[in-house]
Amino acid sequence: MRSAWFEAATAPSAIGREAREVAWDATPLGPPDTWPESLRHAVRLCFSTRFPVMMVWGPDLTLIYNDGYREMLGTDKHPGALGGPARVVWAEIWDDIGPLFDAVLTTGQPTLSRDLLLLMNRSGYDEETYFTFSYSPLLDDDGRVVGVLDIATETTLEVINQRRLVALGEVHATLPTTFTDLRTFALPVLRVLSRSGDIARAALYDVRGPGIVLETGQAREPAELAAVLRALRSGRRQVAPGMVVKPVRSGHDSTILAVLVLRATVVRPWDADYVRFMVVLSTTVAAALRDVVRRRVNDDALQLRAARSEEERNRATEVSLALQQAVLTEPPQFDGLEVVVHYQPAAAERDIGGDWYDAFATRDGATTLVIGDVIGHDLRAAVAMGQLRALVRAIGYDSQGTPARVLERVDAAIDGLALGNAATATALVARVEQATGRSRTVRWSSAGHLPPILVRADGTSEILRIRNDLLLGMDSGAARQDHAVDLCPGDTLVLYTDGLIETRTAGLRARLDQLAKVLEGTHDAALGVVVETALSGMLSTDVDDDVAIVIVRAAAEPASHEEW
């Protein structure tokens, strides 16, 4: 027999309409017509919101949930979870959440869990998931705690994506810059990969055999060796379910130096995001290995030429410095904005590398700031840097588009002009729009680059953390996102490359926090002093990588008459 109040309460919800078909008289709750008013009120609340809500009631903690909560049940638990006991529905995670239910039912006090790891089996496999949720008490008509209201949001994608970005940053910071043999190169890289929650196994194969140079994580499976042999025969990357195999070519010819294998964990779905992460990671490691091998060959050749002619080497150095000065120019003057730039090579005797900056005005009067870092530290990287800087400048000036649109067109140009892997780079484009009131809007888009730091006029600093898009040159069709922040009078925005913060002894997150701390209180300092403060606060005497910095400050408002 239908219940009028239950029909009305469940009418707005697809899951609510399914709830009408549950045999409630066979559950501890009994038919809906017998439910107390307090339970009816909670049910109306549950089905009246689109936010994910689940509630349990009674001695068996019988489940009721709405449309928003449906996705959290995966493919296997719904619709059987409707009217089911919580302990049975969530048996695999009951050791984690059961004590939380008990705490609410016993004390009547709500709980709050942020990004709690739960190993669920909701779609036929054990799945790594993360949730932020609050359990609150539900009272019966006599004021006793007899149920729990769960307001939840799944944060799995946010946690996983942030973890993957950190892993990419740590790998990038760990990549050796010199080469003696494959094992020496692979050891620090595989040590970092072994700590990643997304890498179940990493292995580097020597092409002579092929034999494993170094491995970490799970045991090798037969399919892995077969994929390695296919990569060697074809010279192409192999992507199989749960695995990416990347051949590493020499930068001088088609010789394959090694084969890198990355295998995924079984607790995350092998979806497009996972594949993209593994491809980017393998490409980064392969490019670095190719770069250090090529650099060793180049260094040997340079040493030979230096032995033959010291004068010739000095002339080459002068040409490199002249090229650097021609490409990395001083910024123009902007109305109401002060901009300073700084470039510092890793060593005085090294040629120009892959870090670059730029600052220019578009035709509509907006100020565009650019910071970037091409993967590599040789003449090839320098040439690619010059090409990318010119592309960003030309497209940004001509299109007057948002930073995301500019980077999308740069990606298309890299592909259309066949610039190849040499043009793989991180980059951040920021557009400071003309002031419409007290503040200006800064819109920016990041292609895998480090987050900007904003120093407010009161001296506080903030890391503008966002979800980064892919590096330039990885996918010509990748969509990119714009982000925005207000730049108020006296505020200072700091852009920088990884040479300022990345070390082999500290994590990326800790170094970012350290830079933000170093910049605190620099709001009153001249921008040149801000640059020196950042350098002295973050770098030791031995600088391992190039450093590029761009800083922009909005002019402070004049003091009022009362302050004179």
217 and 343 co-located in one domain = no
> Which residues of the chain register pLDDT less than 70?
1, 209-210, 251-253, 294-329, 347-353, 377-379, 541-544, 557-564
Query: Is residue 386 one of the residues assigned to a domain?
Result: yes
HEC readout, 467-496: CCECCECCCCCCCCCCEEEEECCCCEEEEE
113 and 241 co-located in one domain = no
469 and 547 co-located in one domain = yes
Side-chain half-sphere CA neighbours of 61 within 13 A:
21
| Spatial distance between the Cα atoms of 496 and 450, rounded to a whole number of angstroms | 7
| Spatial distance between the Cα atoms of 344 and 543, rounded to a whole number of angstroms | 9
Look up the CATH number of the domain holding residue 267. Answer: 3.30.450.40
What pLDDT does residue 564 have? Answer: 30
| Spatial distance between the Cα atoms of 149 and 475, rounded to a whole number of angstroms | 44
| Spatial distance between the Cα atoms of 63 and 149, rounded to a whole number of angstroms | 10
**Is residue 255 helix, strand or coil?**
coil
Complete edge-to-edge strand list for the sheet that includes strand 453-455: 337-344, 547-554, 492-496, 453-455, 461-463
Q: Say which residues have a Cβ less than 8 Å from residue 318's Cβ, sequence separation at least 6.
A: none
Query: Is residue 302 one of the residues assigned to a domain?
Result: no
414-425, pLDDT tens digit by residue?
Answer: 988 888 777 889
27 and 60 co-located in one domain = yes
Hey, how many other C-beta atoms are within 10 angstroms of the C-beta on 200?
A: 19
Query: Is residue 314 one of the residues assigned to a domain?
Result: no
**Is residue 166 helix, strand or coil?**
helix
422 and 449 co-located in one domain = yes
Look up the CATH number of the domain holding residue 455. Answer: 3.60.40.10
Query: Is residue 316 one of the residues assigned to a domain?
Result: no
123 and 186 co-located in one domain = no
Hey, how many other C-beta atoms are within 10 angstroms of the C-beta on 203?
A: 23
41-52, pLDDT tens digit by residue?
Answer: 999 999 999 999
Query: Is residue 286 one of the residues assigned to a domain?
Result: yes
Contact status, residue 116 vs residue 132, Cβ threshold 8 Å = yes
465-491, pLDDT tens digit by residue?
Answer: 998 899 998 888 889 999 999 999 999
Exposure pattern of 52-81 as b/e (b: 16+ CB <10 Å)? bbbbbbeebbbbbbbbbbbebbbeebbeeb
Q: Which domain holds residue 255?
A: 159-294
442 and 511 co-located in one domain = yes
Cα 449 versus chain centre, distance: 9
Q: Say which residues have a Cβ less than 8 Å from residue 110's Cβ, sequence separation at least 6.
A: 104, 134, 135, 136, 137
What pLDDT does residue 317 have? Answer: 44
31 and 138 co-located in one domain = yes
Final residue of a structural domain among 128, 154, 180:
154
Final residue of a structural domain among 154, 172, 206:
154
Q: How many domains does the chain have?
A: 3
Query: Is residue 312 one of the residues assigned to a domain?
Result: no
| Spatial distance between the Cα atoms of 470 and 448, rounded to a whole number of angstroms | 5
What pLDDT does residue 560 have? Answer: 44
As a 3-state breakdown, the chain gives helix, strand, coil percent values, each rounded to 5, of: 40, 25, 35
193 and 71 co-located in one domain = no
Q: Where are the beta strands (DSSP E) in 293-395?
A: 337-344, 355-361, 367-374
- Both tokens of residue 182? 């494959």
* Amino acid at position 340, single letter: V
118 and 163 co-located in one domain = no
Name the residue among 216, 225, 166 with its Cα closest to residue 190: 216
Query: Is residue 301 one of the residues assigned to a domain?
Result: no
Query: Distances from the Cα of 484 to the Cαs of 337, 431, 445, in angstroms?
Result: 18, 9, 9
Cα 173 versus chain centre, distance: 15
Place of tokens 């801000």: 530
Query: Is residue 223 one of the residues assigned to a domain?
Result: yes
210 and 277 co-located in one domain = yes
Look up the CATH number of the domain holding residue 28. Answer: 3.30.450.20
Pairing of strands 211-217, 127-139: unpaired
- Cross-strand bridge partners of residue 547: 344
Pairing of strands 211-217, 199-206: antiparallel
Pairing of strands 243-249, 199-206: unpaired
DSSP string, 45-87: HHHT-SS-EEEEETTTTEEEE-HHHHGGGTTTSTTTTTT-BHH
CB neighbour class for 505 (10 Å; exposed up to 12, middle 13-18, buried from 19) = exposed
354-384, pLDDT tens digit by residue?
Answer: 788 999 988 888 899 999 998 876 667 777 8
367 and 512 co-located in one domain = yes
Q: Say which residues have a Cβ less than 8 Å from residue 101's Cβ, sequence separation at least 6.
A: 56, 61, 86, 135, 148
Exposure pattern of 145-162 as b/e (b: 16+ CB <10 Å)? ebbbbbbbebbbeebbeb
Exposure pattern of 278-289 as b/e (b: 16+ CB <10 Å)? bbbbbbbbbbbb
Final residue of a structural domain among 129, 154, 179:
154
pTM equals 0.55
